[in-house]
Amino acid sequence: MEEKLTYQLGQIVYLGNRKERELEGEVVAIMIKPTHVEYEIMWWKEQERKTIWLNENEFSVKKGTKKGKLGFVTGIGSLPDET
């Protein structure tokens, strides 16, 4: 299975022109598709919460920001074997 490197939940990203960085948002969800990864970005405009799904070519991050491994935890809620 291919290892996916993604920006992490909580990562601050910038929407808009790379030079202007008009809006600052936060990654609040990650969706894995067969060909790419999409990120749900959340930001506040006045008193209203806004979100949009974008791929990583549609936002920017601070220089030097690294991606991390995307992983899953198994066995949550299961009881240990009693032998």
Return the amino acid letter for 17: N
* Tens-place pLDDT, residues 52-74: 999 988 998 988 999 988 766 56
* Tens-place pLDDT, residues 8-48: 999 999 987 666 667 899 999 999 888 889 999 999 999 99
The answer as to whether 12 is a domain residue is yes
Give the span between the Cα atoms of 10 and 52, in whole angstroms.
Answer: 15
The answer as to whether 50 is a domain residue is yes
Report the domain count for the chain. 1
Provide the domain limits for residue 13: 5-65
CA distances (Å), origin 3, targets 26, 34, 58, 80: 23, 13, 22, 29
Query: What CATH number should be reported for the domain holding residue 56?
Result: 2.30.30.140
Instruction: Look at residue 75 in the predicted model and tell me its pLDDT.
Output: 59
Q: Is the CB of residue 7 less than 8 Å from the CB of residue 25?
A: no
Instruction: Look at residue 23 in the predicted model and tell me its pLDDT.
Output: 87
The answer as to whether 77 is a domain residue is no
Instruction: Look at residue 40 in the predicted model and tell me its pLDDT.
Output: 97
Instruction: Look at residue 80 in the predicted model and tell me its pLDDT.
Output: 57
The answer as to whether 37 is a domain residue is yes
